[in-house]
Amino acid sequence: MVVKMAVEDTRVSERERRLMGAETVPASERIARLDGEIVFDVDHFNAYYGTFRALYDVGFQIPSRKITALIGPSGCGKSTLLRCMNRMNDLITSFRHEGSMTYHGIDLYERGVDPVEVRRRIGMVFQKPNPFPKSIYENIAFGPRVNGIKGNMDEMVERSLRAAALWDEVKDKLGQSGLALSGGQQQRLCIARALAVQPDVILMDEPCSALDPIATLKIEDLMKELARDYTIVIVTHNMQQAARVADHTAFLMMRPDRAGELVEFGDTDTLFTTPRDKRTEDYITGRFG
Ligand SMILES: Nc1ncnc2c1ncn2[C@@H]1O[C@H](COP(=O)(O)OP(=O)(O)OP(=O)(O)O)[C@@H](O)[C@H]1O
Ligand SMILES: [Mg+2]
């Protein structure tokens, strides 16, 4: 009896959806379709952990060589969505998806697509810097070596560390442990490590949340620099950060059944100044979440 009540309580009625403002603006007006080269095209995408639905019918596009931010309250599925973009969720046995997630026109989940190659092209940087317990040099050299990338390793290490704006700080101590660096330096080492395998996209899940404001600004400057050559998708809880760095922003929110829904997607300035959906406005003005 108790279980039945719980199920009924979480069911979403049309009235509740209207009360939440869900029907105020049709999705076609809240979710911008983009011009230019599209890297990811997400369409009617649903994600499940067992019977729990974590993403509800998400659809948007991510343009090439731009920074796209995913924002929204805790638990709305930002990390889930990010992990779907390089098939990291494959490692979770209860995970399954519906709908499509294409990368340069290829469905990432199609049979025959090699998840290892997917993760080489689409790298990831995590919330907590996680260098290998090895030297700075080895942290960078490991990826190219296991991926069979040919070339002069010293040059590859230097190039990656320069691209991650870390070279000048570590060039005289490449043999020292990566774990001996400061948090901000460790995060840039992780970015350098991701760059070393010559990716196309870098996914970042709250990459600055363990860092102080100065280290955070350094990573933000670095992101803008990297966006000349790479497509970047960043999850952040820091709305100022999204406003500072992102070209486009996606706002997700939990439905009453706790599945994450994409409420609005568009260029960052518009989303923060004249949001189309009341729920976005409430979130960015701090009225909930
Ligand atoms: N491995 C997992 N197994 C089962 N449920 C999961 C798993 N990972 C996430 N979830 C659930 O999926 C939902 C979305 O989680 P997710 O981590 O994607 O949210 P989030 O928006 O990144 O939150 P936060 O801002 O707190 O990081 C949550 O209800 C969470 O409990
Ligand atoms: Mg998360």
Domain limits, the chain: 12-111+121-130+200-284
Phi, psi for 52 (deg, rounded to 5): -80, 125
Q: Is the separation of the CB atoms in 110 and 170 below 8 Å?
A: no
Of 55, 79, 88, 90, which is best to mutate to test ligand 1, by the most ligand atoms within 8 angstroms of its C-beta? 79
Residue nearest ligand 1's atom 16 by CA: 77
Of 52, 94, 237, which is best to mutate to test ligand 1, by the most ligand atoms within 8 angstroms of its C-beta? 52
Name the packing angle between helices 136-146 and 183-196 (round to 10°). 20
Strand-pairing partners, residue 265, are: 31, 250
Q: Is the separation of the CB atoms in 157 and 137 below 8 Å?
A: yes
- 40 has a pLDDT exceeding 60: yes
Average of per-residue pLDDT across 38-59: 97
Q: What is the pLDDT of residues 62-92, one digit of tens each?
A: 999 999 999 999 999 999 999 999 999 999 9
- 7 has a pLDDT exceeding 90: no
Q: What is the pTM of this model?
A: 0.90
CA 255 and chain centroid, separation: 21
Q: How far is the CA of 74 from the centre of ligand 2 (A)?
A: 7
Q: How far is the CA of 79 from the centre of ligand 1 (A)?
A: 7
- When pLDDT is cut at 50, 70 and 90, the band that residue 11 belongs to is very low
Amino acid 155: pLDDT: 97
For residue 259, the 8-state DSSP code is: -
SS3 content of the chain, % helix, strand, coil (to 5): 40, 25, 35
Quickly tell me which residue has 């494959």 as its tokens. Answer: 90
Instruction: Give the pair of three-digit tokens for residue 185.
Output: 């330096």
Strand-pairing partners, residue 38, are: 63
Q: How far is the CA of 219 from the centre of ligand 2 (A)?
A: 19
Strand-pairing partners, residue 91, are: none
Q: How far is the CA of 77 from the centre of ligand 2 (A)?
A: 7
Residue nearest ligand 1's atom 27 by CA: 74
Instruction: Give the pair of three-digit tokens for residue 80.
Output: 């889930």
Q: What is the pLDDT of residues 161-209, one digit of tens each?
A: 999 999 999 999 999 999 999 999 999 999 999 999 999 999 999 999 9
Q: What is the pLDDT of residues 88-112, one digit of tens each?
A: 999 999 999 999 999 999 999 999 9
Q: How far is the CA of 82 from the centre of ligand 1 (A)?
A: 11
Ligand 1 binding pocket, CB closer than 6 Å: 49, 52, 54, 74-80, 92, 94, 258
From the alpha carbon of 260, which atom of ligand 1 is closest?
14
CATH match of 12-111+121-130+200-284 with 3.40.109.40 = no
Encoded amino acid at 107, one letter: D
Q: What is the pLDDT of residues 201-225, one digit of tens each?
A: 999 999 999 889 999 999 999 999 9
Q: Is the separation of the CB atoms in 257 and 53 below 8 Å?
A: yes
The mean-pLDDT minimum among 182-186, 231-235, 257-261, 285-289 falls in 285-289
Nearest ligand by distance to the CA of 252: 1
Amino acid 2: pLDDT: 39
Q: What gap in Å lies between CA 258 and CA 104, rounded to an integer?
A: 31
- When pLDDT is cut at 50, 70 and 90, the band that residue 16 belongs to is low
Q: What are the strands of the beta sheet with 95-103, ordered from one edge?
A: 106-107, 95-103, 38-49, 52-63, 260-267, 248-254, 67-71, 231-235, 201-205, 122-125
Average of per-residue pLDDT across 111-131: 95
Q: What gap in Å lies between CA 65 and CA 76, rounded to an integer?
A: 26
Q: How far is the CA of 68 from the centre of ligand 1 (A)?
A: 20
Amino acid 4: pLDDT: 39
Q: How far is the CA of 32 from the centre of ligand 2 (A)?
A: 24
- List residues, by chain if needed, whose CB lies under 5 Å from ion ligand 2: 79
The count of C-alpha atoms lying within 13 angstroms of the C-alpha of 243, restricted to the half-sphere facing its C-beta, is: 9
